[in-house]
Chain A
Amino acid sequence: MAPVLEELAQAVIEGDGEQVAALVGRALSEGVPPSSIINDGLVAGMNIVGDRFKNGEFFIPEVMMSARSMHHGLGIVKPLLTRSEAVSKGTIVICTVKGDVHDIGKNLVAMMLEGAGFRMIDLGTDVAPEKVVRAVREQSPEILAMSTLLTTTLNRIPETIRALEAAGIRDRVKVMVGGAPVTQAFADRAGADGYAPDAALAVDTARRLLR
Chain B
Amino acid sequence: MEGDIPVLQARGKTAPEAWESSVLSLWEQGVRVKTEYDREGDEPSRDSTMVLVVEEPMAEPRIHLAFPGGIEELEKYRQEVLFGVHDHWIRPEEDKWTYTYHQRLSAYAPVADLSSSRVKSPFPPVDQVRYIIDKLAGSPHSRRAQGITWMPTADPATDDPPCLQRIWCRLIPTGEKGTGSRVQGSGETDAELALNMNTHWRSRDAYKAAFMNIYALTELQNWLAEQIGRKMGRKVAVGRYVDISDSYHIYGAYFKEFSERFLKLVKERPFEKRVWRTDDRRVQAAIQAARDELAKEKRD
Contact = CB atoms under 8 A, between A and B. Distances in A.
Interface of A: 15-18, 56-57, 59-62, 64-65, 68-69, 98-101, 104-105, 107-108, 126, 150-153, 180-181, 183, 198
Interface of B: 39-40, 63, 65-74, 86, 89, 94-97, 159-160, 253, 257, 260-261, 264-265, 268, 274, 276, 281-282, 285-286, 289
B66 A59 contact: yes
Contacts of B264: 56-57
B86 to A, nearest CB: 8
B257 A61 contact: no
Given A16-B281, A56-B260, A62-B65, 18 more contacts: A17-B282, A18-B281, A18-B282, A56-B265, A59-B66, A59-B261, A60-B68, A60-B70, A61-B69, A61-B74, A61-B276, A64-B69, A68-B70, A68-B72, A105-B68, A126-B96, A152-B95, A198-B257
A60 B69 CA distance: 6
Nearest to B73: A104
Contact of B282 (A60, A65, A104, A150): A65
Contacts of B67: 60-61
Contacts of B65: 59-62
Contacts of A198: 257
B282 A57 contact: no
A72 B295 CA distance: 20
Nearest to B283: A65
Nearest to A60: B68
Contacts of B253: 180
A151 B285 contact: no
A99 B95 contact: yes
A65 B96 contact: no
A44 B88 CA distance: 40
B265 A99 contact: no
A101 B96 contact: yes
Nearest 3 CB-CB pairings of A with B: A64-B70, A99-B95, A59-B65
A151 B159 contact: yes
Contacts of B261: 56, 59
A101 B85 CA distance: 13
A11 to B, nearest CB: 11
Contacts of B63: 61
B96 A17 contact: no
A99 B67 CA distance: 24
Contacts of A15: 282
Given A17-B282, A99-B96, A183-B39, A65 B71 contact: yes
Given A18-B285, A56-B264, A152-B159, A104 B68 contact: yes
B36 to A, nearest CB: 10
A107 B70 contact: yes
B70 A61 contact: yes
Contacts of A56: 260-261, 264-265
A198 B253 CA distance: 12
Name which of A17, A62, A100, A104 has the most chain B CB atoms within 10 A of its CB: A104
Contact of A64 (B72, B86, B97, B260): B72
24 contacts: A15-B282, A16-B282, A56-B260, A56-B264, A56-B265, A59-B265, A59-B274, A60-B67, A60-B69, A61-B63, A61-B65, A61-B71, A61-B74, A61-B276, A62-B65, A68-B289, A104-B73, A105-B68, A126-B96, A150-B95, A153-B95, A183-B39, A183-B40, A198-B257
Given A59-B65, A59-B66, A65-B70, A99 B286 contact: no
